[in-house]
Structure 1
Amino acid sequence: MNKVEKFSIKQTVKQMEGNIVSDMNGEKVMLSVQNGKYYNLGALGGEIWDQIKEPITIEDLITTLRTKYEVEQQQCEEQTIAFLRQLMDEGLVEAE
C-alpha cells in the first residue's frame, strides 16, 4: 500500500476491500478481516466511511461534509485529513 505523509485535498481516497461494517445505535463499527481488528468509527466517521465507498477527492468529501454539518473549512479539512490518515495507517483506505 502507498503511504502518504501529507494528503492533498486534490487526492482521491477510497475504502480498501475486506471489511465488515455494521450500524450499531447510529454509529458505524467495523471489523477488518485483513488485520483482525475491530474499529468504532462513530457517527461522523461512519459518514466519512460511507462517502469513500467509491473513489472521491478529499476536496469533494470536505464539501459534502460542510454541506451536511456546520463546520469551518479549516477545521473540517484538518479533522477529515487526520481521520483519513488514521484509516490509512490501519490499512483501511488507499489514496491515489
Structure 2
Amino acid sequence: MIKNKISLHDCFVQGKGNIVSNMGGEKVMLSIDNGKYYNLGEVGGRIWDMIALPVSASQIVTALMSEYHVGQEECEQQVLSFLELLMKEGLIQSE
C-alpha cells in the first residue's frame, strides 16, 4: 500500500538511476527508469543535494529557512509538495 501523504518527520533519499547536471544555476535530471527529463530549479536542486543522504523533511525545511527568506508554513508546504512529486515520479525513496 502506498502512503498518500508524507510528513515532516519522514526521511528521504535520492533514488538510483538518475543523471543530474547543473545548468545555469539550476539542476536538471534525466530519469533512466522512466526516460523523463526534470528541471528541478534552484531550490529543488538544493533539496536534491540535501537528500544525497537520508534526511527528514523537517531538516530540509530548517536548512531552507536559514538560506532563503521564507516563512515556516510556506516552506513546509512547498517542501512537502515537492517531495510528494518526486516520490510520485519514483525519483526518491522514503527511509
Same fold by TM-score greater than 0.5: yes
Report deviation, 1:6.
1.2
**C-alpha distance in structure 2 between counterparts of 1:91 and 1:37, whole Å:** 11
SS of the residue aligned with 1:49? helix
RMSD in angstroms over aligned alpha carbons? 1.1
Which letter does structure 2 place at the counterpart of 1:14?
V
Q: Which runs of 4+ in 1 moved over 2 A?
A: none
SS of the residue aligned with 2:19? strand
SS of the residue aligned with 1:4? coil
User: Unaligned regions of 5+ residues in structure 1, if any?
Assistant: none
SS of the residue aligned with 2:29? strand
Work out the percentage of aligned pairs sharing the same amino acid: 49
1:70 maps to 69
1:18 maps to 17
**C-alpha distance in structure 2 between counterparts of 1:44 and 1:55, whole Å:** 18
Q: Deviations over 1:28-56 (max 9, x none)?
A: 00000011111111111101111111000
**C-alpha distance in structure 1 between counterparts of 2:2 and 2:26, whole Å:** 27
SS of the residue aligned with 1:21? strand
Which letter does structure 2 place at the counterpart of 1:65?
L
TM-score normalised by structure 2 residue count: 0.95
User: Unaligned regions of 5+ residues in structure 2, if any?
Assistant: none
**C-alpha distance in structure 2 between counterparts of 1:5 and 1:73, whole Å:** 22
2:86 maps to 87
Report deviation, 1:95.
1.2
SS of the residue aligned with 1:22? strand
Which letter does structure 2 place at the counterpart of 1:87?
L
SS of the residue aligned with 1:64? helix
SS of the residue aligned with 1:85? helix
